[in-house]
Structure 1
Amino acid sequence: MLPFANHSTTAPRRSLASLDFSCPSLDQSTKEMRANDPVDCCCRISCSGTRSCSSAYDVCRSELQCTSVRRSGNWATLKRAPQWWIRAPGLQQCMDLETDFGSRKEDRQPMFKAWRKHHCDDFTNGDQLTVSRNHKLIFDIGFHSGEDSLYFLKKGYDVVAVDANPSLIEDGLSRPVMHLARLSGQFHALARGIVGRAAQENQTLTFYVHRSVTEWSTFVPPSRRTRGDFSAITVPITTCGDLIRQFGTPYYMKVDIEGFDKECLRSLEIGRLPTYLSTEDPLQLDHLLSLGYRSFRMVSQSVARRGGRQFSGGVPEEIKVAWGEAASIRTHPFYSREHMHERMDIHGNRLREEHDLHASLIVHGTKFA
């Protein structure tokens, strides 16, 4: 798929395999949109008041990088050609989908679903494992969508990821970055529930998987009213302390397990502590102090949001938020459990950001990591 020459009269095609690019002088994105954009995004044109959004196609013809236009509601986003990751496993099915999509005029919705199912966007931006492996270990406790683990792997870190939902782990391992990292030993993914103490080996618990919102899955039995929204499965359990004994002490441990962070933190042992950790539960401050953590900061997830996708945070040295003592956390306006979750209004605007508590064994004073 070749880019159009500037001011080409050729009509832009529709495409599945396309990438965002920046066009600051032409972009009509709102301030809220830009707040959620990664650095290389975006080139959006408003379609409000027009049925065909012809203005977006006119701009695409005049923009050298533009090869396709993707419309969603009242907005059209200009896209550039993909750079296929030729050696990634699973590539061919995505390339076939792209070829079929360009030639088919009937209902394309099933093709969009197949594209998302196979994580085909992962194949369109070139080789994703170009950074040398640094052999520093990160624990991703609360794998969820896998965005955190993907980011850490692309930065060269070794990653141990844990989630109680086995379907999320299976889905993550189908993505090329994680598949290749697993083969090389850089990535370990475990379907395990996290508890504060395991009474015996090979112990299991019932885990309730929400049928539509995976983040609502829980070990807490649902009420009779909501029971039909969940599927009960049996999962093996472990502790964060046992994971450290198995894989080694991590440089950084991210804990985000939907209200059960304290179960992980209670199993940590002095002498085997991550240098850095983060938790979505700020009320674990006193326990972290008792373990020996000395520097703290509250970090808004807006600092780490990329492309509108929720992301628990980058590695410690990349987050430009100053460290402080515990007293600075106690007086922080977001030092409460209600700030473990963001709030949205009916229009999708964020009224409150989710904040994580970050802790370090190192005394940083008021400096960055």
Structure 2
Amino acid sequence: MISPGCHRLIVDLGMNNGDDTAYYLRQGFRVVAVDANPALVETAQTRFAREIAEGRLVVLNRALSAEAGAVTFYVNTDNDHWSSIDVGWAGREGSHCQAISIATVSLRDIFANYGVPYYLKIDIEGADHIALAQLGQELVLPTYVSVEDCRFGFEYISVLETAGYKSFKLSDQSIVQSLRDETTQGTFPQGASGPYADALPGRWRASNDFVEHYACTVRDRAGQRLAPRSRWWDIHAALADCHSS
């Protein structure tokens, strides 16, 4: 079910440096940007001071959880992209982390306070499954959603399908810098998530077709990675039967 008021809102769950948020704002959307890293939130509050003052952007310094409270968040001081509530994820490859306490917020509370978004971007390093589990409990869903692929990709596809999503695409994140931002006709900066919804290259696939495509492109059903490490992916899903249109 699509929320009637959701079409001019995007939730950027895992804002990081704010480049994705900037893209959504340029497109004329209201944005709720969520990040657990206080330093990144502080930088965003300066970068987007005008948009915040205009009421077009809300920046939340929160970690996602099913319950209100606080969690330990591990800030990776070598690579902030790897910061996570999962210490193993945050400290991979022997990188250095700093443990801090961060207040939490649930997806349901975000939707209740700000509206169900047109598009939900999920990129919260090692905690994406928490967002997907909560999404599966919602009666009103974003029209489009994306999640960063990992070794649980097959599970993510299944959860999204069970939640009600009918059409799927893969986004090759290694080529995002070569794509065009239709809003400005510019290119995307390194690390940006890039286009979404119908602006995303490629065709929408039904879930069964998409699983076969994924199993031939990213990793096989035994979990063995097929794509080289230089390529990484996001999984996009749509509520509509885009593949049959």
**Bin for the TM-score computed over the shorter chain:** 0.7 to 0.9
Task: State the match for 1:180 in structure 2.
Answer: 50
Q: Distance in 2 between matches of 1:360 and 1:334?
A: 20
| Greater per-residue helix proportion | 2
C-alpha change, 1:275 and 1:185, in structure 2 (3 Å) is: same
For CA contacts below 8 A with separation 6 or more, give which structure has more relative contact order.
2
Contact (CA 8 Å) 1:276, 1:360: kept in 2 or not?
yes
Quote the offset at 1:224 in angstroms: 10
Which stretch has the larger CA shift, 322-331 or 214-223? 214-223
Q: What do the CA deviations read for 1:224-268 (whole angstroms, capped 9, x no partner)?
A: 999982111110011212211111100000001112111011112
C-alpha change, 1:206 and 1:173, in structure 2 (3 Å) is: same
Contact (CA 8 Å) 1:141, 1:161: kept in 2 or not?
yes
TM-score of the pair, normalised by structure 1: 0.55
Task: State the match for 2:123 in structure 1.
Answer: 256
Task: State the match for 2:182 in structure 1.
Answer: none
Task: State the match for 1:112 in structure 2.
Answer: none
SS of equivalent to 2:42: helix
Q: Distance in 1 between matches of 2:145 and 2:224?
A: 20
Task: State the match for 2:75 in structure 1.
Answer: 209
Task: State the match for 2:140 in structure 1.
Answer: 272
Kindly indicate whether residue 113 of structure 2 is the aligned counterpart of residue 246 of structure 1.
Answer: yes
Quote the offset at 1:135 in angstroms: 6.8
Tell me, which stretches of 5 or more residues in structure 2 are unaligned?
Answer: 1-5, 178-186
Quote the offset at 1:324 in angstroms: 0.7
Kindly indicate whether residue 85 of structure 2 is the aligned counterpart of residue 219 of structure 1.
Answer: yes
C-alpha change, 1:315 and 1:181, in structure 2 (3 Å) is: farther
Counterpart residue identity of residue 155, structure 1: Q
C-alpha change, 1:213 and 1:156, in structure 2 (3 Å) is: same
| Greater per-residue strand proportion | 2
Counterpart residue identity of residue 242, structure 1: D
Contact (CA 8 Å) 2:197, 2:238: kept in 1 or not?
no
Counterpart residue identity of residue 43, structure 2: D
Counterpart residue identity of residue 233, structure 1: I
Kindly indicate whether residue 63 of structure 2 is the aligned counterpart of residue 193 of structure 1.
Answer: yes
Task: State the match for 2:181 in structure 1.
Answer: none
SS of equivalent to 1:365: helix
Q: Distance in 1 between matches of 2:36 and 2:76?
A: 12
Quote the offset at 1:365 in angstroms: 1.6
SS of equivalent to 1:309: coil
C-alpha change, 1:257 and 1:229, in structure 2 (3 Å) is: same
C-alpha change, 1:324 and 1:221, in structure 2 (3 Å) is: closer
SS of equivalent to 1:258: coil
C-alpha change, 1:328 and 1:152, in structure 2 (3 Å) is: same
Contact (CA 8 Å) 2:84, 2:126: kept in 1 or not?
no
Kindly indicate whether residue 16 of structure 2 is the aligned counterpart of residue 140 of structure 1.
Answer: no
TM-score of the pair, normalised by structure 2: 0.80
- Across the aligned residues of Structure 1 and Structure 2, the Cα RMSD in angstroms comes to 2.7
Contact (CA 8 Å) 2:147, 2:235: kept in 1 or not?
yes
Counterpart residue identity of residue 209, structure 2: S
SS of equivalent to 2:22: helix
Counterpart residue identity of residue 189, structure 1: V
Contact (CA 8 Å) 1:334, 1:355: kept in 2 or not?
no
* Count of aligned positions: 219
Tell me, which stretches of 5 or more residues in structure 1 are unaligned?
Answer: 1-133, 344-351
Structure 1 segment 7-18 matched on structure 2, within 5 A: none
Q: Distance in 2 between matches of 1:187 and 1:278?
A: 20
Task: State the match for 1:328 in structure 2.
Answer: 209
